[in-house]
Structure 1
């Protein structure tokens, strides 16, 4: 009888210990659930903020320049870009609530150096101030030695007093954590790395013939480009620049294959340091053909803005060869072939003028060159 009483007491003690342990484990389990649910939701909201920041920055970037071919080397429209970025931001939601505001900053982004999210205005980037504020927006004094591109930076915060307040927790409030802050930022720059299919015209210019810096370009002066074989510097006409036809990623064997590219452009995405096939020696009807039977440069592109690859190589030597692409430049084509010749005979030349919106990213982060392009819808990209 006494043994039964002792056994009963021990069982009661065990039940009490199990109850205490169960309570402790329940608290721990609840804490883990709280962390899993709240941290998971925090990541969801953070992604929503990031998507909104990316969208706003890209939208603003695409308003830095008006797509007007008559505007040559225009200054970026900073105010228009900022306004459009903010209005795009306000089309988005996070935490099931509309986003109302964010910090939108415009300026010049050094994408080769990546100086701690700095946008630079009229001064050398020091790398010591995360978000410098200056009174005027202009290229930094040292822009010839860095790769600067016009940019839009967007920062969105969801905190007390910002965008409907901080994010309310589901379970973490039990532990005294009632809400938490979240933020995201994005920088979009007008300097594309890749050129999408169908954008590039099928002839190239040489890096050797082009100025390195923006200051050295005369955007008002017409340029005469000699394209094709038999380039001679002592010809009666003064040809400033040598060019050659290109078939991009394919070796071609006849003029008809090249003629097809006047309509289609590059068939694949083109990146810096890709090689392109240079093809000299083609029919003069490729420049001007008023019969309507064939595609020709003048009929396809006269009066239009086109984008040309820039290659590293000598284009005056009439070689069929693969050359690396080092950048791109905008060219407004006025005329080609017979349309450019007052004597009325067809020849292999093109007349037009450069335009550029700023530097294009070069493979390997080469500093300084100002080759740029103006107009294609893929020209803006997220830099950070």
Structure 2
């Protein structure tokens, strides 16, 4: 006589079949969640590596001291920086590095060739692409339980663009002396974006800034400014020497040109250091004049008394703190920043 399975045994068998039927989808779902987090971490690491490498390359435009972009130096610095990073405990070793001009207004929105004539919004740039692929940087990223998903490994890629450009706005740190455009025409070579060289010394021309000095007969050497306020007292100017412009100043903004300054102020001028100054179209005292650019200037000495002058020379390849935007190249740069 054949014995029938009890209802409890049939139920136990059904639970086992149910569990087996859903085990594979459950494992697939778990693998998907684990791998999603894994791929996200790897791609973040690749992006961080690309960002850091691009910034390292763009910094070459600032620190090399050349008036024209050092494309080869920027590419070399970028490539070297890639190898300082890792992804998923794998040391990175290579990437695709391209130099050119990047349009900060987004037109075009791709890297332009180094051979173009740069426009108003075109800044020297480094573009870097870092990938984990079959033959790059340790190969593809392996996935846990990837066989269950039909995808044992995946590629990962990150791209970054960094730029270094002359500033259009400075939020603080400007020295309260304005230089005239004509002074730059005298001592600055706009074709190379570098100071003109004194053949007798082989270095940048030294000159004196002060209300009693002119160059070329009519070119005022420069004058003190109280920026956006009308002031001519020693405490105010000393405060501006120590702290810089209290509000942001951009190309096109008007600043006040003072009629002169007390001799005692010259003892407050820092020497053997770099200062950052606004360039104005004309030096007309007791008037507001528009800013046309920002520049880096090295102070060699400062003399008070009857003479009253600041002596120094123009520089190139120096980043101006608290600056942004893009303007004419007069030797100062915005600290390297990511544009993409």
TM-score class, shorter-chain normalisation, is 0.7 to 0.9
Alpha-carbon distance in structure 1 between the residues aligned to 2:318 and 2:235 = 35
Q: For the Cα contact (< 8 Å) 1:48–1:94, is it kept in 2?
A: yes
Deviation at 1:97?
Answer: 0.7
Aligned residues: 324
SS at match of 2:57: helix
Is residue 339 of structure 2 the alignment partner of residue 383 of structure 1?
Answer: yes
Show the counterpart of 2:286.
318
Alpha-carbon distance in structure 1 between the residues aligned to 2:33 and 2:291 = 49
Alpha-carbon distance in structure 2 between the residues aligned to 1:276 and 1:173 = 67
Alpha-carbon distance in structure 2 between the residues aligned to 1:63 and 1:272 = 25
Structure 1: segments with no counterpart, 5+ residues: 123-139, 289-293, 339-343
Alpha-carbon distance in structure 2 between the residues aligned to 1:259 and 1:12 = 95
Alpha-carbon distance in structure 1 between the residues aligned to 2:108 and 2:184 = 29
Q: 1:246 to 1:36 in 2, by over 3 A?
A: farther
Is residue 241 of structure 2 the alignment partner of residue 283 of structure 1?
Answer: no
Is residue 264 of structure 2 the alignment partner of residue 308 of structure 1?
Answer: no
Alpha-carbon distance in structure 1 between the residues aligned to 2:249 and 2:71 = 28
Show the counterpart of 1:261.
240
Show the counterpart of 2:307.
346
Is residue 43 of structure 2 the alignment partner of residue 50 of structure 1?
Answer: no
Deviation at 1:358?
Answer: 11
Q: 1:216 to 1:155 in 2, by over 3 A?
A: closer
Q: For the Cα contact (< 8 Å) 1:191–1:358, is it kept in 2?
A: no
Q: 1:24 to 1:220 in 2, by over 3 A?
A: same
Deviation at 1:182?
Answer: 0.5
Which of 30, 33, 44 in structure 1 is aligned with 2:30?
A: 33
**Comparing both structures, which one devotes a greater share of its residues to strand?**
2
Show the counterpart of 2:296.
330
Alpha-carbon distance in structure 2 between the residues aligned to 1:274 and 1:237 = 27
Scaled by the length of structure 1, what TM-score is found? 0.66
Show the counterpart of 1:186.
160
Q: 1:13 to 1:380 in 2, by over 3 A?
A: same
Alpha-carbon distance in structure 1 between the residues aligned to 2:48 and 2:242 = 36
Scaled by the length of structure 2, what TM-score is found? 0.73
Deviation at 1:101?
Answer: 0.8
